[in-house]
Amino acid sequence: MTARESPATALDTAIEQVVGDLAVLHHDHLRGLLPPERAALAAIHQELMAAESAVAYHRNVLTRLSSGSYPVNTPLLDRLRRTVHDLAQATAARDRLHEGVAAALEAVKAAAPAPADDELTPRDFAALLSLAGGGTMREHLLTHRVSVRTVQGRLVELPAFQRLEAHGLVTRDTSRALTVGQPVTLTDTGRTALLGTRRSPAMAAPVPARPAGAWPAPARHH
């Protein structure tokens, strides 16, 4: 089961605001590409997702047993008591892991502080390039996660998008609801940064090329 197929946890949005897409985090963790702090976060987040699955399982069993489909007798009452006990244990384990994930996230923040306001990383520019054709910011109706996708469907890391937006390189149509989807486009500043149209003074006035076969220009004497 992948990160996206597993039940959402209460900390998923907070994690993605720091490290980006969770699927990418777990993908890189499986391949040993993460620094220690992020690897620890990915590992305990995986445990938290499993704990959320256990809570959901026992809750579903309890719902099924209490649905009225079974006769109320001693075996049913015993089964209900065992299920409630199992659900309580699964919830306690989930809550302990929740605290562990929160601590691991703080360790990641301390180890990798956010770039300064005037600093854009290579990944930020890669995000800017991927949004050249446009994109959409949308909030999931059930999980309330906010994500940004390009027109090609590629997921853009939310922290990178937020830095691009803070620098005035991208803009979105805030007149539309996030649950519907806010179109994202590059600003003039963003297109300028992407295309590299800022030229140095030395490049502003190139010397005209002389026709082929022309005599050399006379030397200028100062």
What is the greatest pairwise CA distance in the chain?
Answer: 112
With a cut of 60, say whether residue 76 has pLDDT above it: yes
Indicate the DSSP class of residue 131: T
Q: 11 near 98, Cβ under 8 Å?
A: yes
Residue-wise pLDDT tens digits, 174-209 = 888 888 999 999 998 888 888 764 343 444 444 455
Measured CA to CA, the distance from residue 177 to residue 27 in angstroms comes to 31
- pLDDT > 90 in the chain, percent: 45
Task: Output the pTM of the full model.
Answer: 0.54
What pLDDT was estimated at residue 118?
A: 57
What distances in angstroms separate CA 83 from CA 48, 60, 79, 111, one per listed residue? 20, 10, 6, 42
Q: What is the pLDDT of residue 201?
A: 41
pLDDT of 119: 67
What pLDDT, on the 0 to 100 scale, is given for residue 204?
Answer: 42
**What share of the chain in percent tops pLDDT 70?**
81
pLDDT value for 112: 57
Burial state string for 79-90 with b = 16 or more CB within 10 A and e = fewer than 16: ebeebeebbeeb
